Amino acid sequence: MIRLKSSHIILRALVTSDIDFLELVENDERFWHLSDTLQPFSRSVLKDYIDNSYKDIYEAKQLRLVISLHNNQPIGFIDLYDFDPKNKRAGLGILILEGYHDKGYGTQAVKMMMNYAFEVLDLHQIFASIIEDNQRSLSLFKKLGFEIIGLKKDWRYNFGQFQSEYLLQKLTHVH
């Protein structure tokens, strides 16, 4: 059985009480480059997002889960995006707030999401796009078996400069 729970964290659906955390993360300009956000979101738009987060991944083509500690304290988000059931692939993104880095939470969350994607959704591959200088994320994904398969040069324009972005891929071992 696939469980979205480890000894330290839980991957869970968004709930109404996550509105403050969602607003904090989505409206923090330091994170905007991760999702190509150009402006803040209103509280009512974020409430609508939570209200519609029940949609099936096959309908929404994405899945966002809250990474929370066992006491229900949210510490980040993990997403499957660009879900393509025909070609059996999806992108994977993760964001963990700074105070919770280097505690193994990211490794646990990505492992659980990979298991879910491969075993429940029956995906063949997961990909990730990571800015070239994001060594923490590159290290995490490479440690979990993702391969760098390309470099998109000057792919993103952030903070007044172009940044190159690696494309990483993890294939399931089942053929």
Q: Which fold has domain 9-123?
A: Aminopeptidase (3.40.630)
Q: What pLDDT score does 126 carry?
A: 98
Q: What is the DSSP letter of 41?
A: P
CA–CA–CA angle 120, 108, 75 (5° rounding): 105
Total residues found in the chain within this entry = 175
**Terminal CA-to-CA distance of the chain, rounded, Å?**
21
Q: What pLDDT score does 130 carry?
A: 95
Q: What pLDDT score does 1 carry?
A: 44
Q: Which amino acid is at 133?
A: D
Regions of the chain short of the pLDDT cut 50: 1, 175
Q: Which of 93, 164, 86, 163 lies closest to 126 in space, CA to CA?
A: 93
Q: What pLDDT score does 44 carry?
A: 84
The 10s digit of each residue's pLDDT in 80-90 is 999 999 999 99
Q: What pLDDT score does 30 carry?
A: 67
CA pseudo-torsion sign 102, 3, 120, 14: negative
Q: What pLDDT score does 140 carry?
A: 96
Residue 169's contacts (CB-CB under 8 Å, 6 or more residues apart) are 125, 126, 127, 128, 146, 147, 149
The 10s digit of each residue's pLDDT in 9-45 is 999 998 888 888 888 777 677 665 666 666 777 878 7
Q: What pLDDT score does 37 carry?
A: 66
Cβ–Cβ under 8 Å, residues 84 and 125: no
